[in-house]
Protein backbone atom coordinates (compact mmCIF):
# COMPACT_ATOMS: atom_id res chain seq x y z
CA UNK A 1 0.00 0.00 0.00
CA UNK A 2 1.69 3.17 -1.19
CA UNK A 3 2.02 5.96 1.33
CA UNK A 4 0.91 9.55 0.94
CA UNK A 5 2.35 10.97 -2.27
CA UNK A 6 3.19 14.59 -2.84
CA UNK A 7 4.46 16.25 -5.97
CA UNK A 8 6.49 17.98 -6.89
CA UNK A 9 9.04 17.37 -4.14
CA UNK A 10 10.76 20.65 -4.94
CA UNK A 11 9.21 23.68 -6.60
CA UNK A 12 10.84 26.97 -7.49
CA UNK A 13 8.68 29.95 -8.37
CA UNK A 14 9.40 33.60 -9.01
CA UNK A 15 7.53 36.23 -7.03
CA UNK A 16 4.07 36.75 -8.48
CA UNK A 17 3.73 33.29 -10.04
CA UNK A 18 1.31 30.59 -8.97
CA UNK A 19 2.29 27.43 -7.11
CA UNK A 20 0.22 24.23 -7.25
CA UNK A 21 1.03 21.49 -4.80
CA UNK A 22 -0.51 18.05 -5.16
CA UNK A 23 -1.26 15.40 -2.59
CA UNK A 24 -2.52 11.88 -3.22
CA UNK A 25 -3.71 10.33 0.03
CA UNK A 26 -3.17 6.73 0.95
CA UNK A 27 -5.55 4.33 -0.73
CA UNK A 28 -8.91 4.34 1.01
CA UNK A 29 -8.22 7.54 2.94
CA UNK A 30 -10.88 10.21 2.65
CA UNK A 31 -9.48 12.91 4.95
CA UNK A 32 -6.63 15.21 3.96
CA UNK A 33 -4.74 17.79 6.00
CA UNK A 34 -2.23 20.39 4.87
CA UNK A 35 0.53 21.78 7.11
CA UNK A 36 3.26 24.33 6.50
CA UNK A 37 6.72 24.22 8.05
CA UNK A 38 8.73 27.42 7.95
CA UNK A 39 12.48 27.29 8.64
CA UNK A 40 13.16 26.86 12.37
CA UNK A 41 9.41 26.59 13.07
CA UNK A 42 7.07 23.76 13.90
CA UNK A 43 4.46 22.38 11.55
CA UNK A 44 1.46 24.70 11.35
CA UNK A 45 -1.99 23.45 10.40
CA UNK A 46 -3.52 25.05 7.34
CA UNK A 47 -6.64 23.17 6.22
CA UNK A 48 -8.62 19.96 6.74
CA UNK A 49 -10.58 18.55 3.81
CA UNK A 50 -12.79 15.64 3.00
CA UNK A 51 -13.79 14.72 -0.54
CA UNK A 52 -15.50 17.79 -2.08
CA UNK A 53 -15.74 19.44 1.31
CA UNK A 54 -13.62 21.87 3.35
CA UNK A 55 -13.98 20.97 7.03
CA UNK A 56 -11.66 23.54 8.61
CA UNK A 57 -9.65 26.18 6.77
CA UNK A 58 -9.03 28.42 9.75
CA UNK A 59 -5.25 27.93 9.52
CA UNK A 60 -5.01 29.13 5.96
CA UNK A 61 -4.20 32.75 5.05
CA UNK A 62 -7.33 34.50 3.82
CA UNK A 63 -5.76 35.74 0.61
CA UNK A 64 -3.91 33.96 -2.19
CA UNK A 65 -4.27 30.47 -0.68
CA UNK A 66 -6.92 27.92 -1.58
CA UNK A 67 -7.30 24.16 -1.26
CA UNK A 68 -9.54 21.53 -2.76
CA UNK A 69 -10.03 17.78 -2.61
CA UNK A 70 -12.18 16.79 -5.59
CA UNK A 71 -14.20 13.63 -5.94
CA UNK A 72 -11.56 12.28 -8.32
CA UNK A 73 -7.89 13.06 -8.26
CA UNK A 74 -5.45 14.49 -5.76
CA UNK A 75 -5.91 17.29 -3.27
CA UNK A 76 -4.48 20.58 -4.50
CA UNK A 77 -3.06 23.44 -2.46
CA UNK A 78 -2.88 26.53 -4.62
CA UNK A 79 -0.89 29.65 -3.82
CA UNK A 80 -1.45 32.61 -6.10
CA UNK A 81 1.02 35.49 -6.57
CA UNK A 82 3.66 33.88 -4.38
CA UNK A 83 5.90 36.02 -2.19
CA UNK A 84 9.25 35.20 -0.57
CA UNK A 85 7.52 34.55 2.75
CA UNK A 86 5.70 31.59 1.19
CA UNK A 87 9.00 29.70 0.94
CA UNK A 88 8.51 26.68 3.19
CA UNK A 89 7.95 22.95 3.26
CA UNK A 90 4.31 22.01 2.74
CA UNK A 91 3.22 18.67 4.13
CA UNK A 92 0.08 16.77 3.41
CA UNK A 93 -1.33 14.08 5.69
CA UNK A 94 -4.25 11.70 5.26
CA UNK A 95 -6.37 9.58 7.54
CA UNK A 96 -8.89 6.79 6.96
CA UNK A 97 -12.66 7.21 7.28
CA UNK A 98 -12.52 4.87 10.26
CA UNK A 99 -10.42 7.40 12.15
CA UNK A 100 -12.09 10.79 11.61
CA UNK A 101 -10.88 13.72 13.58
CA UNK A 102 -7.22 13.38 12.80
CA UNK A 103 -6.16 10.76 15.31
CA UNK A 104 -4.33 8.71 12.72
CA UNK A 105 -2.54 11.02 10.33
CA UNK A 106 0.01 9.68 7.86
CA UNK A 107 2.29 12.30 6.39
CA UNK A 108 3.70 12.65 2.91
CA UNK A 109 7.32 13.62 2.19
CA UNK A 110 6.45 17.27 1.60
CA UNK A 111 6.92 19.82 -1.16
CA UNK A 112 9.69 22.31 -0.64
CA UNK A 113 8.66 25.61 -2.20
CA UNK A 114 11.30 28.23 -2.89
CA UNK A 115 10.24 31.67 -4.06
CA UNK A 116 12.97 33.67 -5.76
CA UNK B 1 -3.60 29.79 21.25
CA UNK B 2 -1.70 26.67 22.16
CA UNK B 3 1.65 26.74 23.92
CA UNK B 4 3.77 23.68 23.23
CA UNK B 5 7.37 23.76 24.42
CA UNK B 6 10.18 21.32 23.87
CA UNK B 7 13.97 21.74 23.90
CA UNK B 8 15.50 22.80 20.60
CA UNK B 9 18.44 20.41 20.61
CA UNK B 10 19.76 17.42 22.50
CA UNK B 11 22.78 15.18 22.09
CA UNK B 12 23.51 11.68 23.36
CA UNK B 13 25.82 8.77 22.64
CA UNK B 14 25.07 5.40 21.10
CA UNK B 15 23.63 2.92 23.55
CA UNK B 16 22.50 5.61 26.00
CA UNK B 17 19.01 6.61 27.11
CA UNK B 18 17.57 10.04 26.35
CA UNK B 19 14.38 11.72 27.55
CA UNK B 20 12.77 14.46 25.46
CA UNK B 21 10.31 16.60 27.38
CA UNK B 22 7.26 18.45 26.11
CA UNK B 23 5.02 20.81 28.07
CA UNK B 24 1.75 22.15 26.78
CA UNK B 25 -0.99 24.57 27.69
CA UNK B 26 -4.22 24.09 25.83
CA UNK B 27 -7.94 23.99 26.42
CA UNK B 28 -9.97 20.95 25.45
CA UNK B 29 -6.95 18.65 25.44
CA UNK B 30 -7.76 15.38 23.70
CA UNK B 31 -4.43 13.64 23.29
CA UNK B 32 -0.71 14.04 22.61
CA UNK B 33 1.35 12.63 19.76
CA UNK B 34 5.05 12.11 19.18
CA UNK B 35 6.41 12.02 15.63
CA UNK B 36 9.92 11.39 14.32
CA UNK B 37 11.16 13.38 11.34
CA UNK B 38 14.45 12.75 9.56
CA UNK B 39 15.81 15.67 7.57
CA UNK B 40 13.94 16.10 4.31
CA UNK B 41 11.48 13.33 5.06
CA UNK B 42 7.91 12.87 6.25
CA UNK B 43 7.08 12.91 9.96
CA UNK B 44 6.35 9.35 11.05
CA UNK B 45 4.05 8.44 13.92
CA UNK B 46 5.67 7.16 17.12
CA UNK B 47 3.02 7.31 19.84
CA UNK B 48 -0.32 8.66 21.01
CA UNK B 49 -1.25 9.21 24.68
CA UNK B 50 -4.61 10.36 25.95
CA UNK B 51 -4.61 8.82 29.45
CA UNK B 52 -2.05 9.44 32.16
CA UNK B 53 0.79 6.99 32.34
CA UNK B 54 3.50 5.30 30.36
CA UNK B 55 3.06 3.61 26.99
CA UNK B 56 5.92 1.35 25.98
CA UNK B 57 6.66 0.31 22.43
CA UNK B 58 9.98 -1.41 21.95
CA UNK B 59 12.88 0.98 22.49
CA UNK B 60 10.51 3.97 22.64
CA UNK B 61 8.19 4.90 25.51
CA UNK B 62 5.93 7.90 25.96
CA UNK B 63 4.57 9.31 29.20
CA UNK B 64 1.71 11.72 29.83
CA UNK B 65 0.55 13.70 32.85
CA UNK B 66 -2.61 15.62 32.00
CA UNK B 67 -2.73 17.46 35.31
CA UNK B 68 0.79 18.81 34.75
CA UNK B 69 0.46 19.39 31.01
CA UNK B 70 3.60 17.35 30.54
CA UNK B 71 4.82 14.51 28.38
CA UNK B 72 8.13 12.89 27.62
CA UNK B 73 9.49 10.55 24.99
CA UNK B 74 12.07 8.07 26.25
CA UNK B 75 14.47 6.48 23.78
CA UNK B 76 16.55 3.55 25.00
CA UNK B 77 19.60 1.83 23.50
CA UNK B 78 20.16 4.75 21.17
CA UNK B 79 21.33 4.07 17.64
CA UNK B 80 22.84 6.41 15.09
CA UNK B 81 19.67 6.17 13.01
CA UNK B 82 17.74 7.75 15.90
CA UNK B 83 19.34 11.09 15.00
CA UNK B 84 16.28 13.06 13.89
CA UNK B 85 13.85 15.75 14.94
CA UNK B 86 11.20 14.64 17.46
CA UNK B 87 7.91 16.49 17.25
CA UNK B 88 5.39 16.81 20.06
CA UNK B 89 1.81 17.59 18.98
CA UNK B 90 -1.54 17.92 20.76
CA UNK B 91 -5.08 17.55 19.51
CA UNK B 92 -8.11 19.34 20.92
CA UNK B 93 -11.61 17.98 21.06
CA UNK B 94 -13.06 21.19 19.67
CA UNK B 95 -10.84 21.31 16.58
CA UNK B 96 -10.58 17.71 15.53
CA UNK B 97 -8.34 17.15 12.56
CA UNK B 98 -5.89 19.83 13.57
CA UNK B 99 -2.64 18.85 15.24
CA UNK B 100 -0.80 21.61 17.12
CA UNK B 101 2.94 20.98 16.88
CA UNK B 102 5.86 22.15 18.95
CA UNK B 103 9.00 23.29 17.16
CA UNK B 104 10.63 19.91 17.47
CA UNK B 105 13.73 18.67 19.29
CA UNK B 106 16.75 17.91 17.10
CA UNK B 107 18.46 14.86 18.58
CA UNK B 108 22.02 14.02 17.54
CA UNK B 109 23.39 10.61 18.47
CA UNK B 110 27.20 10.36 18.55
CA UNK B 111 29.17 7.13 18.19
How many angstroms away from the CA of A18 is the closest CA of chain B? 23
Q: Which of B42, B89, B95 to mutate to test the interface with A (most CBs of A within 10 A)?
A: B42
Rounded to a whole number of angstroms, the distance from the CA of A20 to the nearest CA of chain B is 19
Q: Does the pLDDT of residue A77 top 80, yes or no?
A: yes
Segment A14-41, tens digit of pLDDT? 999 999 999 999 998 889 999 999 877 8
Q: Is the pLDDT reported for residue A1 higher than 90?
A: no
Task: For B81, list phi and psi in degrees, rounded to 5.
Answer: -70, -10
Q: Please, are residues A69 and A49 in contact by the beta-carbon 8 Å criterion? A: yes
Q: What is the mean pLDDT of residues B5-27?
A: 96
Query: In Å, how far is B5's CA from the nearest CA of chain A?
Result: 11
Query: Could you tell me which of B17, B41, B51, B49 has the C-alpha nearest to residue B104?
Result: B41
Decide if A30 contacts A54 (C-beta within 8 A): no
Size of interface A-B (CB pairs under 8 A): 63
CB-CB under 8 Å, B100 with A105: no
Residue range B43-72: mean pLDDT, rounded: 95
Q: What per-residue confidence (pLDDT) applies to A21?
A: 98
Is A96 at the interface with chain B, CB within 8 A? Answer: no
The pLDDT value recorded for residue A97 is 79
Under DSSP, the state recorded for B96 is T
Amino acid sequence: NAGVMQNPRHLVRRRGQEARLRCSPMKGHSHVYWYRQLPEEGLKFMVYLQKENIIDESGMPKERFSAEFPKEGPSILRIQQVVRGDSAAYFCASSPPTAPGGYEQYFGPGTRLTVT
Amino acid sequence: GQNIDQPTEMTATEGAIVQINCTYQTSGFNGLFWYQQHAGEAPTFLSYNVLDGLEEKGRFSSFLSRSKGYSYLLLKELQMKDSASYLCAVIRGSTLGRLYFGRGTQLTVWP
